[in-house]
Each structure stands twice: as C-alpha cells, then as structure tokens.
Amino acid sequence: MSYIIAANWKMHKTAAETAAFCKAIMQEEQLFGDFEIIICPPYTALSTASAALKGSRIKLGAQNLHWEPKGAFTGEISAFMLGEMNVSHVIIGHSERRHLMGESDDQVHLKVQTALNNGLIPILCVGETGQERDNGMTEMVIERQLNSVLEGLSDDVASKMVIAYEPVWAIGTGRAASEQDAEDAARLIVQIIDHRLGRAAAETIRIQYGGSVTADNIGLYVTSTSLQGFLVGGASLETDLFSSLIQAAREAVKG
C-alpha cells in the first residue's frame, strides 16, 4: 500500500505564495516515487493551486467542508464547490476545528458522510488532548471519535477514507508522539475498523500519524506496520523542508 503524505497549511499562504510553492514542489516530484502527496491550502488558494498543479501527480485537498449542498450558511463551503476546484481530499475533524471552533462528533460524522457521498476522500482526524492522555483516556477518546463517524457507513464506502491519528498535545508543539504511542493508536484504529466494518476495510483504510512530524523524525514511524502516511503542518510550509521530509520517508521505507 503506498504512503500518503498530506500538507495541512491551516491559515497560511496567499494565492500568490501557493502558486510559487506548487511550481517549486513540482520540480521535485520525480523524487517522491509512488508516494501520494496532497496539498491542502486555504479555500482562497484552492483555485490557484488547482491550476498550478495541472499535469502533476500531486493532489489537492481542502481543510473543511459543510454537510449541506447549499443554503444560508454564511462562511461555509459545500462538497460540490470543492469538487469544482478539482479537490480530491478533505481534512475533517481536525483538532483545531474540534477544540477551537467547537466542532462536535455529530458534525464530523455528517461531514465525513457528505464527503464520501460526493466523491471526496475524507482525511478524518482523531486524537486525544494532553489532559485526556494524562487521565488515561486516550483509547476511549479515539474509540468515541471513530465510532461516531463509522455509524451508518458501509464497509465499501468507508474503505475510501484516510484516518489521521493526531494527538492534540503533539500538534505544533515540537513534541511528536513516540513511535510506540503512534503505533498503539494506529493499531487501535485498525481494530475498531476491523470490528465495525470487517477485515477488508481494516486492510484498505490508510492511517496517518500527525503532530510535529519533520524530516528528522519521520523515519521513526516508517517502521510501524499500521501507519501508511503522515499529516504534516509546520514542516509542509516550505518547499525544501516538505520535499526533504518526503524523501526522508522514502529512504526509510526503502530501508
């Protein structure tokens, strides 16, 4: 199964900066082998990125969507609008949305269903806060977040999903999870999928780790048998950093 590395730019980069990044990263593309690379700029740069990435294997992702097709939802964007921009992936339930914007498990569930129903691949983020970890609630939180999304999804539809384990305490802190912590969480996710959707789905759904991933530490996670990719924030913002991170992962995979 090929690795999937997604760049989550959050609220960074203008359209002009996005165009410059895309042009530069496309020059490096032959170094990425069969890795699937996805860039998720802010909404305002999607159109620019879509045009800039034409002819490239690098895919385009969004950072959120609304579950309604249209209507009076000021500030929201629909799946159809994203499709029009050639977006193939969409990050859903990122901890910054759950914790800073108050996004609930129910809303995350609706968003994942909407993405899948509209041919978009959700990158579903799950993960515990530092306090939840300290209180021994890591497994419980992952189970709750994942089970609420899997509710009502058939195995063939859900199999298209990507799931990112992103412990909140590791995001943007420089304190990445240990390879054992990431592996334990990824294994738990595989178990839950296996239990709810069956073996085939558990073997198909790819699991990413996210949280302070850099070119220096990415090789550690590649030994994990349950992880097949990464969701990268800070280290995806500069072309050379992002390119060397992907290459470091490739080197580690090759052993």
Which residues carry out catalysis?
94, 166
Tokens representing 68?
């309604």
32 versus 209: smaller Cβ distance to ligand PGA:
209
> What minimum distance in Å lies between the beta carbon of 152 and ligand PGA?
26
Quote the least distance from Cβ 168 to ligand PGA, whole Å.
9
Max CA distance (Å), the chain: 52
Using Cβ positions, the residue closest to ligand PGA within the complex turns out to be 233
Helix, coil or strand: residue 171: coil
Q: How far apart are CA 91 and CA 82, in angstroms?
A: 12
62 vs 235 by CB, closer to ligand PGA: 235
Q: Shortest gap between Cβ of 139 and ligand PGA (angstroms)?
A: 21
Instruction: Please say which residue, 1 or 11, places its beta carbon nearer to ligand PGA.
Output: 11
| Closest C-alpha among 219, 214, 204 to residue 253 | 219
Binding site for ligand PGA (CB under 6 A): 8, 166, 171-172, 210-213, 231-235
20 or 237: CB nearest ligand PGA: 237
Consecutive H or E run containing 209: strand 206-210
Angstrom CA distances, 64 to 53, 77, 96, 122, 195, stand at 20, 8, 11, 9, 28
Q: Cβ of residue 49: shortest distance to ligand PGA, in angstroms?
A: 18
For the four alpha carbons of 4, 59, 125 and 114, in that order, the dihedral sign comes to negative
